[in-house]
Chains A and B, each alone.
Chain A
Amino acid sequence: MSDDIFQGYKGKALEMLKKYNVRVWGQAVIDTTRGEFKGTVLPRSENDDDQHIVVKIITGYNIGIDIKTIKLMKEVGYKKANYQIPEKQFPYTKGLPKVKLIGTGGTIASRLDYRTGAVIPAFSPGELYGAVPELADICNLETEKIFAVFSENMGPSQYIGLAKAIKKEIENGVDGIVIGHGTDTLHHTGAALTFMVQNPPVPIVLVGSQRSSDRPSSDAALNLMHAMTTAGYSDIAEVMVCMFGPTSDEYGLLHKGTRVRKMHSSYRSTFRTIGDIPLATVTRKGVTPIHKTYNHRRKDRKVDIFPYFSDKVTMLYYYPGMKPDTLNSIIDNGYKGVVWVGTGLGHVNKEMYPAIERAKANGVHQYMTLQTIWGYVHMFVYDTGRDMMAKGIIPAGNMLPEVAYIKLGWALGQSDDPEEVKRLMLTPINDEITKREPYNGYLIYQGGVPEVEEFIRKVHK
């Protein structure tokens, strides 16, 4: 209890607060060698130093006071803040599709605690309606939070939990499912759900935001509207990622869960379909398919669930000068699958060969993917490739490295038999390996070229 009144303070700063009996949320007058400061003492972020006390002054700004300069402190008032997000009944509208929003812990909608700056997530339908009232015009919404983890902590057990939850919802008769998710590993989850939930009759849409919704220019609200529109109305019954197309607030793109990748650390339009064109565009008015073929929405409630995953799988990103002990330690630690991320057409150096052979002898399944991200593995072109195949590395076509990792974990969760694993790995479930690459599947605009510059100037980015 005593710690709670000094929220986040430690060491010398904590001593100082205790000495003068000033609490967090106490209104304090602080006399220092730099003059007098007045304001409300705020909690301090745990990772910050123990040399300063944070105060919100009357104009609403926060400042820090160096404890070495403090001559005297006095608490003259106390006002603890207690915040709740407003709940408004999400209106039911007859005739609108029924959409289920499944929460995983990432913050899609939120609001700020103005005193501390902490983000309070909005999740229940009532809270979401308070934050994005337009959702009520799109669908009838139900929500369920099935876990609370950050994107980077999503893993195999969450994939399995999600797959089972999706099956239940489909059987319950929803028209579409939206999954709120942090963006860092959104594409891993997209791949995992594609493999675990096969032939769904309704759209399954993964959505996140690149700017938290406490910011006025957040992409969260529009992404949510796009995702709900897709889930409620789209004819595409697949696992999809729905995020901004351009960085402008114009339209979203729907990407296949197996071909999508986060390509920029901070851009809104960070998700791109790799080696193919996106599935569709989406605006608040509806979904416009770009892809000619896709799985269509069905009326039945049938879905196949394969909720399996082995966590004895790892990835090895090759670099020049890589030593065999990297692979050896993986073998020694009992790993059963390795996804190689090789250079060029799918290569590693000769020094690795003995370790690769040892891995095979120990029953480790090895697949080759590419650092180039775009293109196919071609191990017949050079001797190196042929050598490696002979030693047990199987080329994984144009499967993205992260997707291959997820798929190998999924396959090894079902079988140890090399032939069965190979069959599972190389039989595409939803375009994780494509037969052909369209000429417009590899497009990155490269600034500086006059034609590109002209295009960029004219089209909203």
Chain B
Amino acid sequence: MKKSFDPSQNYEKTKKAIGYVPRKKAKQKDYDRIGFMSGLEVHQQLLTKSKLFCRCPAGVFHDHEDYDAEVIRHMRPTLSELGEYDGTALMEFKTRKEIIYRVNNKTACTYEVDDTPPFKIDPEALEIALEISILSKLNVVGEVHITRKQYLDGSIPTGFQRTAILGVEGEFPIKNKTIRLIQLSIEEDSCREVSDIGHTRIYKTDRLGMPLIETVTYPDMKNPDEVKEACNYIRFLNRSTGKVRTGIGAGREDVNVSCKGGTRVEIKGVAHTKWIPELTHNECFRQWALLAIRDELNKRIDEKKWKMNHLNLDWDAVDSSVEPLKSSHERGEKILCISLPEFNGLMSHFTQPGKMFADEFSDRLKVIACIEKPNLIHTEQLKPVVKEKTWDVLKKKMKAGENDALLIIFCPEADVKTALDTIEERCHMAFNGVPNETRKSFEDGTTIFERVLPGADRMYPDTDSAPIPLEDSYIKKLSKNLPVDVIDRFNQLNKWGVPDDAFTYILKKNLVPVIEEIAEKLKYNPKFIGTFFGHQMKFVEGHNTSSSDFSYHRVFEMFEFIKKQKLEVEIARDMLPVIYTHPQMDFDSVLTIIGFKKKSKESLLAPISFLKDKFKETGRKQTPKTTNDWVMGQLRKQAVGNMSLKELKKAVEKN
């Protein structure tokens, strides 16, 4: 009976059972069904000369191997106010990580490694952050209090980040709703990770201490596209000041996601806004899947009665000539078999595209017990490592029942206890649904376990810094010099429906007014014109040398000419490179240069059947599509400007 179990089938079956739909096919009603909810924490580095709390230069980076000294630290949990250790703290302590900081004298001083107390906050950074707070319509505080926020992963050598709230309770519009802001804070950036292997994590300290702001929204977003849109708004608002850093890593998002009945899970450090929809979509469905697993487990057994069993194995109990067992055996590690009662059929339960529930164990073994992947073999692998026969023997040894799942783990002896605890803990969490955690994102839209989500009690005043008063007169002075219209323009582009990959270019070149003029005076669709500038104009500028006479108003004149001559608007694409390089040339000559000849629709369509016959003689593959494409190719050039290509295509297909 057991033999008929097919993990692949089970994976597909469970995926269907929870109602997973790919994002491209997902509708609002799908998100409403699973209760999609998301909020953002948008980080943005500020463009300052110095770091936030010391006088080291900001924005100077170096290679992994380019360092002058190394310092070792271990992070210890501190007691919370209830006399208990915070969950993250305990996890980090369990991992027994040795953290090495690489220090380069060009970019770090004794402050970065916590051997010198903080200097006064960088006034330039504070000012930029306040400007953005005012732009975000936040209630600006009367006095800035530097707070310590604990981080025990070692990404900050002190074990806490110095951070301060500048404003609370703001809001901003997206297409169909208003998104509320919780707060904006100024903070020091963390270290960049060099490596994290086994029990050693290496960081470099170049980015550490650079000024950063964090804008936090309420969980007002109800679908993945809204999250992306809100994120874009905040990023453009930040950039509109011209005083923030751009480039890789200068803007990063933490995205909080939950589903109905799920838990707030934080996806950390999303580097690109465009990744957000896939990530939030998958996370919401992962939580939905975990809830299904929870319900199934509780149906099968009472958690209080549930108990995990394990057994130390001899290496000859398995075929240790296959990887990953072979390497582990060679390293002289221990091998154990674990039985998880009533978990059969759940190990291969769908969680994310390409991932199953068993991966949740594997991810935690890597992070908490410091065991490198692959670190797990189980009874429901899509590509089995251990033979069915071996499992049968082990099952007997373990006295495991039909409904039990079996795992094999292999690791250094010192890590065995943490590994067992980690697996047992994750099993108990499965009875309760979605664990509180932060997750690391990947480009393919999936995530893996990163850390336990820290509790709220990790914030306390920085006794090394004095509060900074913010006088009304200072706030007023800052309010006078704000680039308010840039954000209005951003809203305008959004309203028109211009694709957001065109925004940066349009805003940077201040092209909204000319787009508006073309749209209003000539009655062209502003979405088309916006896209035309954001894509075509940008391309032409990047690939041609301009004449100093060129101004964007020439583009208006070009569209005006097209309108007057009653030409099809598609010809603008062909004309643009010429008017960009020769702005003085009259438009008739431009048409000559691009080879345009005025032709009637009838004369354009006349040769269609002749051309179709001719295509037959070319000896190429004959399908309606190849035929039509070839004919389009023959006619396209003459048609541009004379008739819409869409119309032409229809005519070709009909004939």
Contact = CB atoms under 8 A, between A and B. Distances in A.
Contact of B113 (A69, A213, A247): A247
Interface in A247-298: 247-250, 264, 266-268
Interface string B72-84: 1111111111011
Given A57-B165, A57-B168, A85-B83, A66 B76 contact: no
What is the size category of the interface that chain A forms with chain B? 35 or more
Interface of B: 67-81, 83-84, 89, 100, 105, 110, 113-117, 138-145, 147, 150, 152, 157-160, 163-165, 168-169, 182-183, 185, 216, 456-461, 463, 466-467, 469-472, 475
B459 A61 contact: yes
A61 B183 CA distance: 10
Interface in A74-117: 81, 83-86, 111-117
A8 interface: no
A461 B110 CA distance: 11
Interface in A1-44: 32-37
Contacts of B147: 60-62
Contacts of A35: 138-140, 168-169
Given A34-B141, A61-B165, A247-B71, 14 more contacts: A33-B472, A57-B183, A61-B459, A62-B145, A62-B461, A69-B142, A85-B83, A111-B83, A113-B460, A117-B461, A249-B73, A461-B69, A461-B70, A461-B71
A131 interface: yes
Nearest to B116: A266
A435 interface: no
Given A61-B165, A68-B472, A111 B78 contact: yes
Nearest to A44: B467
Interface of A: 32-37, 48-49, 51-52, 54, 57, 59-69, 81, 83-86, 111-117, 119, 130-131, 211, 213-218, 221-222, 247-250, 264, 266-268, 447, 453, 456-457, 460-461
Contacts of B81: 81, 83, 112-115
A217 B472 contact: no
Contacts of B183: 57, 59, 61
A49 B143 CA distance: 11
B141 A64 contact: yes
Given A61-B164, A266-B116, A460 B76 contact: no
A57 B77 CA distance: 24
27 contacts: A33-B472, A34-B141, A35-B140, A37-B139, A49-B469, A63-B144, A63-B168, A64-B141, A66-B471, A69-B472, A83-B81, A85-B83, A112-B78, A112-B81, A112-B460, A215-B158, A215-B159, A216-B78, A217-B75, A247-B71, A247-B113, A249-B73, A266-B115, A447-B105, A460-B71, A460-B72, A461-B71
B115 A267 contact: yes
B68 A457 contact: yes
A61 B460 CA distance: 7
A114 B142 contact: no
A52 B139 contact: no
A83 B82 CA distance: 8
Given A217-B114, A217-B157, A460-B70, A59 B140 contact: no
Chain A CB within 10 Å, residue with most, of B143, B144, B159 = B143
Contacts of B100: 460
A213 B159 CA distance: 11
Nearest to A115: B81
Contacts of B80: 114
A66 B563 CA distance: 60
B254 to A, nearest CB: 14
A33 to B, nearest CB: 8
Contacts of A112: 78-79, 81, 460
Given A35-B169, A52-B142, A266-B115, A60 B459 contact: yes
A34 B71 contact: no
B121 to A, nearest CB: 14
A34 B80 CA distance: 33
Contacts of A34: 139-142, 475
A64 B467 contact: yes
B72 to A, nearest CB: 4
B78 A213 contact: yes
6 pairs of A and B residues whose beta carbons are closest in the complex: A64-B143, A216-B159, A35-B139, A66-B142, A86-B83, A117-B461
A158 B64 CA distance: 51
A54 B145 CA distance: 9
Contacts of B113: 247
A52 B467 contact: yes
Contacts of A52: 142-143, 467, 469
Contacts of B115: 247, 264, 266-268
A456 B140 CA distance: 46
A131 B79 contact: yes
A434 to B, nearest CB: 30
Contact of A218 (B68, B70, B76): B76
A117 B72 contact: no
B169 A36 contact: yes
Nearest to B456: A60
Contacts of B467: 48, 52, 54, 64
A216 B139 contact: no
Contact of A216 (B160, B164, B185, B459): B160
Contacts of B185: 61
Contacts of B168: 35, 37, 57, 63
A211 B145 contact: no
Nearest to A212: B463
Contact of B69 (A59, A66, A456): A456
A83 B81 CA distance: 7
B158 A63 contact: no
A86 B158 contact: no
Contact of B78 (A66, A116, A117, A215): A215
Contact of B145 (A63, A66, A81, A453): A63
Contacts of A461: 69-71
Nearest to B458: A60
A247 B73 CA distance: 9
A461 B105 CA distance: 14
Nearest to A211: B114
Nearest to A248: B72
Given A114-B81, A215-B160, A63 B143 contact: yes
B83 A64 contact: no
Given A117-B461, A217-B73, A249-B72, A267 B139 contact: no
A388 B472 CA distance: 63
A113 B117 CA distance: 21
A68 B469 CA distance: 12
B158 A216 contact: yes
A248 B472 contact: no
Contacts of B142: 32, 34, 52, 63-67, 69
Nearest to A134: B76
A266 B157 CA distance: 15
Contacts of A131: 79
A454 to B, nearest CB: 10
B436 to A, nearest CB: 16
Contacts of B105: 447
